[in-house]
Amino acid sequence: MSTQNTSRLHAFATLHWYDETIKFIFNFVTKTSELLLAAGIVVSTANFLTDGSVMQGHAALSDAWAWAQAIAIDSSLGIVFINAFQALRERDKIRAIIFFTLTALLATVAGLITHFDALGHAAGLPVSDKGVSGVIPLWIMTALRAVAVIGFLLTSRLKNFSFNELRDDWHRQEQQDKQEATPQIDYNELALALQGIIQNINVSEEKELEAPSIEEPPKLFLLTNAEEDKPETEPAEQRIAQAYEELLEERTEQKNDKPISARDLAQRAKARRATCSTWLKQHEEDLQINVSQQAEL
């Protein structure tokens, strides 16, 4: 026997090809089950809305619906079980919990139906008989199977969905939001800025130490408005009085009745206008007092 024939016989004996064939069939049935279950739900809804007229009197359609549902839901149990462990290996806990829950539900429904069918055949009783179903009502079985069908349709769309990536995207978005809200500090630039400030301070201190000491200039005493309003010294008052007499004498000779103003008096006496104004007011008051005293006499 040639080497090629020996290798072919060995490959056939290992049944690896058979494992791959079974795997292909199960995967094919599982992927087809989604279409079969979806079609079965559509038929069930139509039958419900037409008050059973779709299935009634159509034995072939009823049998086809039953076979399609049985093949779709029961043959997918192993694939759902594998998907659960696949999600567990990928550390996708949420998807693993969903698939394990669906696996438990499918296994429970399939196991109870198989048990009731085998017991009914052995006892010669219908499945709806209480002797077969026991304490479990028939409506509970149909409800569990309906939940299993809907659950399989929903979870079959999650095979390629990763909850880990979704959680990572959420965490990444939260971190980006926190980074945008928190002011970023560049410590290198901050260190360079502090170093420059310290160098400037040191240079300023060195210049102050090297600069010669300068005596403090004499303070200038500025006259405020209050000090301007104060009457000047005695010689200033004498100059104002003398200037007033001169102006009065000149205007008398010129027959000028215009009163002597503080401005004219300030120009003649070389004094401040405010001081001259104060002096004129005081002089007028003194004149009025003298006139009143003479009138009393």
pLDDT of 197 over the 80 cut: yes
Taking residue 120's Cβ as centre, other Cβ atoms within 10 Å add up to 17
Which pLDDT does position 224 carry in this prediction?
A: 43
Residue 210: predicted pLDDT = 58
Q: Where are the alpha helices (DSSP H) in the chain?
A: 3-13, 16-49, 59-74, 77-89, 93-123, 130-133, 138-155, 163-181, 187-210, 225-228, 234-253, 262-269, 273-296
Q: Which helix (H) or strand (E) holds 125?
A: none
262, 276 Cβ separation under 8 angstroms: yes
Q: How many CB atoms lie within 10 A of CB 237?
A: 17
- 203-207 contacts: CB < 8 A, separation 24 or more? none
Half-sphere exposure of 70 (CA within 13 A, CB side): 9
Q: Measured between alpha carbons, how far is 141 from 123 in angstroms, rounded to an integer?
A: 20
What residue spans define the domains of the chain? 1-74, 76-165, 232-296
Q: What is the mean pLDDT of residues 18-33?
A: 84
Lowest mean pLDDT among 64-73, 83-92, 203-212: 203-212
Question: Nearest-CA neighbor of 126 among 143, 135, 138, 140?
Answer: 138
Average pLDDT, the chain: 77
pTM: 0.47
Nearest residue to 244 via CA among 214, 208, 280, 275: 280
Which single residue is written with the structure tokens 């240079």?
Answer: 203
- Kindly state the tokens that stand for 61: 């359609």
Confidence of residue 99 (pLDDT cuts 50, 70, 90): confident
> What span, in angstroms and rounded, lies between the C-alpha atoms of 203 and 190?
20
Residue 184: its pLDDT value, please?
65
Name the packing angle between helices 59-74 and 16-49 (round to 10°): 130
Residues 271, 232 contacting (CB under 8 angstroms): yes
Question: How far is residue 290's CA from residue 297's CA, in Å, rounded to a whole number?
Answer: 11
Residue that the structure tokens 């600069």 belong to: 211
